[in-house]
Amino acid sequence: MTSSPLVTVFGSLHYDIAVMGPSRPRKGETVTGTSWHPKSGGKGGNQAVSSARTGISTSMIGAVADDDFGRFLLANLERKGVDHTFVRRDATQSTGMSVAIFDGGGDYGAVIVSGSNLTLGEADVTAAHDVLSKTTLLVLQNEIPDAANVVGAKAVKLAGGRVLINAAPARVLSQGLQPLIDILVVNAIEAEMLADTPVVETLDGALTAAKILAQSYPEVVVTAGGAGVAYASRNGDETVIAAIKVEVQSTHGAGDEFIGVLAAELASGKAMIDALHKANAAAAFLVSTAEKDRV
């Protein structure tokens, strides 16, 4: 392992189209929006940018097409200081994209089309062997195939690094992946599916879910939206942190900001409780910033 901390994100890149409106449409309804703008997205891309913004060395492994969307995403990674050497240009698929519709309160709903993200796999891990062998903390999500997550996690664990997965969107984690995970981060919906028990989006509910999941994973973080975040470990450690109260401008990307900062702090050697406080504060700042003012 290198003495310099390195976060590597193996995950998704999406070209996002954000649409602003007074409300999100119901089935069969047309709503007149107020504005729209393109932005760089995908959980992987967002988390890599958030990590790099802290000043830690951050690399991205992913896939885009050789199209305008892909070039837009690569330019953003370059501008934000993320090493994108191992973001592959795929000739067989279009770049992943999403459309997010925001209501007047800053909440949103989105549809993603994964495109080139679904081509990620063993070949990408092999190509990125050098960076994975130096990775302090690998960040994964569920927007790429489970098999890709497995081979990426194996490579980093073999080199002595740790693996954090943001298990979103919600899906069952394979038996091949579960034993490779050091830190599981989920929201209430994802926790409910993985813990197979109803989860209330409160600090008490999040902590209950974290303790259940900690029977299967070494460390578990459950985010509870505006309530805050809960943590539990297999060793019996536990804590809850209340959300910082802010005027919400947009909740879009809050979870990714939390993950990116958490990963950077942990890779830098910070204690979990300190890393959680820093990530919690970063997410609060993001949601209090209007979409158009984010950099």
User: Residue 126 maps to which CATH number?
Assistant: 3.40.1190.20
pLDDT digits (tens, 9 = 90+) for 215-255: 999 999 999 988 999 999 999 999 999 988 877 777 667 88
Instruction: Report which DSSP code applies to 293.
Output: G
Nearest one of 183, 148, 189 to 168, comparing CA atoms? 189
| Rounded distance between C-alpha atoms, residue 237 and residue 215, angstroms | 12
Residue 102 domain-assigned (yes or no): no
The H-assigned helical ranges of the chain are 43-53, 68-79, 122-127, 129-133, 146-158, 188-195, 203-213, 254-267, 272-287
Is residue 63 included in any domain, yes or no?
A: yes
CA–CA gap between residue 182 and residue 217 (Å, rounded)? 7
Q: Is residue 18 part of a domain?
A: no
Do the domain assignments include residue 275?
A: yes
Q: How far apart are CA 130 and CA 151, in angstroms?
A: 14
Residue 2 predicted with pLDDT over 50: no
pLDDT per position as a tens digit, 178-214:
999 999 999 999 999 999 888 888 999 999 999 999 9
- 14-52 pLDDT, tens digit per residue, is 999 989 899 998 899 999 999 998 999 999 999 999 999
- CA dist 227 and 243 (Å) reads 5
**Domain region containing 277:** 6-12+42-96+117-181+244-293
Domain-embedded: residue 237: no
